[in-house]
Structure 1
Amino acid sequence: MNQQGSTAQARRSPLAKVVSALPPGTQLVIGGTVLLGAASYIHLMAAGYSLGKPEMASVSLLWTILMSVGLGLFFPVEQELTRIVAARVVGGQGAAPVVRRILLITVGMLAVLTVGMAVAARPLADTFFEGHRSMVVALAASFAAMAAGNVSRGVLAGLNRFGAYGTQLAVDGGLRIALAVGCAVAGVRSPLVFALILAVAPLLAVLATVRPLRSGISAGPAVGWGSLTGGLAPLVASTLLSQVVVNAAVISTRLLAPDNAPLVAGLLNAVVLARVPLFVFGSLQASLLAGLSSTAAAGDRSGFSKLLMRTCGVVAVLGVAGGIPATILGPWLIQVLFKADDVLGSLDFLLMSAGTLFYMLAMVLGQALLVLHRHRLQLLGWATGTVALMVTTLAPGAIATRVCLAYTMGSLAAVGCMLAALWLTFLREPPGAAADVQGSSRRSLVDSA
């Protein structure tokens, strides 16, 4: 039996070997992530075929702002919840006090954001949405839906309930597809309707997973506000900057060429297409953070390092596998799939694909720094990337090429800075010293929990 098992192990396909290298629980999330990723494409395709270029540009900008500001503010909440809840699970402690306080912090952030948008509704509408303030309302509703989803998924990931996590993603994606296709078939021509899909689908998906969420939350020791906000504040800043790096192309183009709606819409389509590997990486990210948090809390330096290296290898495979077809077929695909104009070339897609590869590597390294309680070093990495992006964007040259190159250079700069930080503070240290660092990380996790 052992010989047969060894033979079967050797004969596994390359895909099976890649999947087995992923952190435990990832496979349960892949299906939901793939469906949600497909939903983004179908939603934008349906909008592209149903709306005129100015209206599609408005939807494109709303989607981009939601992905930039929304993820920047609320995805850190999911990360901190995953990290702290996972550490509490290892320590046998209930997470209810943590969840309650994180929920209050999230509601406060959402309230500040909503009030600010209400005050600035007119300039926001004029700058991004052709003067339609109803799109600002739709954006605010989408922010609320995203916040609810990130809070619930952070708890589910920390509890290792990846089945419910994947279910939420699948319900969200399925609803987006059904609603977008239904609107297209019904002949809807309103950008507001397509925008509201981004609010309705995530909220219904959260409701679908309330039961497993509530059943996993148990009473535990109290948690101080300082231990939550101390890590969350730099993490929010880091994530906001990371979203600037990954989403700046569309907004930069809008500001540099406000009258070129076809280029704005085409760039969003290209960004979404070049980021196919990033959607797959989303299925890896939740279980990666939970796995790194668990190994850190257990003081397993070897397991931590191996998981980090395996993940970087998987990310490299994803980036190359997605980048080659995007570079070759991208200019043609955005015209066929999204009804975009012929505004981008293969060089633009090559730069975007390289940027996506570097961006994913930066995300992995950032997760490692986060778990080691090096929040400020992660922030430094994304700040360095943002500076590189801004310098490249303001350089002379064609707008499309500039903004695509800026994505690549910003992501690469972030990788270099975070890799140096991780090497200097953890990877290069001798086993005894690294164990002390890991023990320090373990104490930090327990203290913050």
Structure 2
Amino acid sequence: MASGAAPPSLEVPISRRLPALTQQIGSVGLGLVVLGLASFAFLSISGRALGPAAFAPLATLWVIVNAAGPAFFQPLEQELGRAIAHRRAAGLGSRQLFLRGCLLAGALVVLIGVGLVVFSEPLADRVFSGQESLVLALLVGLAGLGAEHLTRGAFAGAEAFGRYGWQLGIDGVLRLVVSAALALVGVDTVGWYGFALAAAPVAAVLATAWRLGPATEPAPPDDTWRELAGALGVLMVGTLLAQFVVNAAPVAASVLAGPAEAARAGVFISVLVLARMPLFLFSAIQAAFLPGMAALVARGDRAGFVGRLRAVVAAVTALALAGVVVFVGVGPWLVTLFYGPEYQTTRTDIWPLAVGAGLFMLASALAQTLIALRAYATSVIGWVLGTGAFLVVIAVPLRLEQRVGLAFLAATVAATVWPALALRRRLARPLSAGPVADGPLEGALDVRPQ
């Protein structure tokens, strides 16, 4: 769809919008595939160049950057995309909105930077095995991801999904090329690989942000501070907790590992990275899934809503089962293939990670469905329960890999069961027809059956 075309009306049948929807998903999906493959290649190259023990803090940086970036900035991308699209449909620009989003993101980066400076020494010692350069790389990487999410919000609001996909792909290719060059010249210092990871988002933004469409067009005065703050407050809590559920395991493995377990922690983190490969495929549908479900709610189309929900749940379940079968069946061989003969693991350590990754996808789909129903607080409760389950199980004194893997599995089970039960209660009565309210807390706790 051209960037200047108006979005389809809610009265247009869903079946007539599928080709455009597929094209949008395809553009983002292709970028995600490039980013995902390049990320795994980056980890494979750096893991071989550094060895298991030195690789552990770099893998931890990779996990933290990819967790904290979306946790802090993805809500801003979502709200900017929604608000810019809304104004674009009314023939209005969004310059004021976008600039205020930039100010919020900049303030957040400054706050994060102050925290990293204050706690740089204990963070380097406890999380990055004494590598202080990785603390600075973390700050640079988070700033770059903040800029990426800002520009992606502008791209999504203008339906410029091709540019969205290009930014994802450029990010991945840059980290791959730089890490390969470092390995070829024999660099075995972890800090250089950390900065290769951190600088790629910054360069990707510079390469794609030269045309932002409605985000840079003049806008009439309005109260966008209240609009942004109200939506972001709710979205950020859920996103932070979801990122904790999916990313706490590798960080815990790095923190809990004793001096004699450093190499084992590096192997475990590499296994977890591979087990999460299906998450990249799942991410391609998320940008279009939530708006589609929200449109069905606005129309009161219960049959269409339930049908799409069943189709998405079936697809996610099939993807999750395929991941479990592949990684439990040939996981040890895959780990050795990707990282080298020093990386040895067992199916006992793999299966909780593979099952947990599948359940996380299902929990995310169910949580987005609750958000489409405007049950914001209910969707957050699932991630709260998942966080609590992880903290309880991680305290059980087991072998490191078993302890962390089962904690991840318990977290995803809890995060999946709650929204499934909440949706069952909510869908026992009709959907509310009519326009969806703009307030972020509208219907937040409304999951009671009739």
Same fold, judged at TM 0.5 (above):
yes
Give the CA deviation at 1:191. Answer: 0.8
Which whole-Å CA distance do the structure 1 matches of 2:164 and 2:306 have between them? Answer: 26
Q: Which of residues 432, 435, 439 is equivalent to 2:432?
A: 435
Give the CA deviation at 1:139. Answer: 0.8
Alignment map for 1:209-288 (pairs within 5 Å): 209-214=208-213, 217-221=216-220, 222-259=222-259, 260-288=261-289
1:15 aligns with: none
Structure 1 window deviating more from structure 2 (332-341 vs 242-251): it is 332-341
2:70 aligns with: 71
Contact 1:231/1:375 (8 A) holds in 2 = no
| SS state at 2:106 partner | helix
- Any idea what the Cα deviations from partners look like across 1:410-437, whole Å, max 9, x if unmatched? 1121111122333334x2222xxx224x
2:45 aligns with: 46
| SS state at 1:344 partner | coil
1:169 and 2:189 correspond: no
Give the CA deviation at 1:90. Answer: 4.8
Give the CA deviation at 1:23. Answer: 5.3
2:35 aligns with: 36
- Any idea what the Cα deviations from partners look like across 1:119-157, whole Å, max 9, x if unmatched? 111111111223232211111000101111111112212
For residue 157 of structure 2, what is the amino acid of its counterpart?
G
Identity of aligned residues (%): 34
| CA 99–367 in structure 1, closer or farther in 2 if over 3 Å, else same | farther
Which whole-Å CA distance do the structure 1 matches of 2:367 and 2:231 have between them? Answer: 13
- Any idea what the Cα deviations from partners look like across 1:246-305, whole Å, max 9, x if unmatched? 111112122322321112211221111111110111211222234345555666665544
- Any idea what the Cα deviations from partners look like across 1:278-333, whole Å, max 9, x if unmatched? 01112112222343455556666655444433322221222122221111111222
Give the CA deviation at 1:336. Answer: 2.5
| CA 341–141 in structure 1, closer or farther in 2 if over 3 Å, else same | same
- Any idea what the Cα deviations from partners look like across 1:30-72, whole Å, max 9, x if unmatched? 2111110011111111111111333211101111221232221
- Any idea what the Cα deviations from partners look like across 1:145-202, whole Å, max 9, x if unmatched? 1111111112212322111111111111111221111111111111111111222211
2:12 aligns with: none
2:345 aligns with: 344
1:155 aligns with: 154
For residue 280 of structure 1, what is the amino acid of its counterpart?
L
For residue 345 of structure 1, what is the amino acid of its counterpart?
T
| CA 322–103 in structure 1, closer or farther in 2 if over 3 Å, else same | same
Which whole-Å CA distance do the structure 1 matches of 2:343 and 2:182 have between them? Answer: 26
For residue 256 of structure 1, what is the amino acid of its counterpart?
L
Give the CA deviation at 1:22. Answer: 7.2
For residue 412 of structure 2, what is the amino acid of its counterpart?
S
Q: Looking at both structures, which has the greater relative contact order when contacts are Cα pairs under 8 Å and sequence separation is at least 6?
A: 1
Contact 2:28/2:165 (8 A) holds in 1 = yes
| CA 255–128 in structure 1, closer or farther in 2 if over 3 Å, else same | closer
| CA 367–23 in structure 1, closer or farther in 2 if over 3 Å, else same | farther
| CA 256–443 in structure 1, closer or farther in 2 if over 3 Å, else same | closer
Give the CA deviation at 1:216. Answer: 5.8
How many residues are paired up?
423
For residue 328 of structure 2, what is the amino acid of its counterpart?
T
Indicate the RMSD between aligned Cα atoms, in angstroms: 2.6
Which whole-Å CA distance do the structure 1 matches of 2:123 and 2:341 have between them? Answer: 25
1:109 aligns with: 108
1:318 aligns with: 319
Unaligned runs of 5+ in 1: 1-18
Higher helix share: 1
Which whole-Å CA distance do the structure 1 matches of 2:90 and 2:381 have between them? Answer: 31
For residue 122 of structure 2, what is the amino acid of its counterpart?
P
Structure 1 window deviating more from structure 2 (181-190 vs 288-297): it is 288-297
Q: TM-score, normalised by structure 1?
A: 0.87
For residue 264 of structure 2, what is the amino acid of its counterpart?
L
Give the CA deviation at 1:84. Answer: 3.0
Structure 1 window deviating more from structure 2 (222-231 vs 401-410): it is 222-231
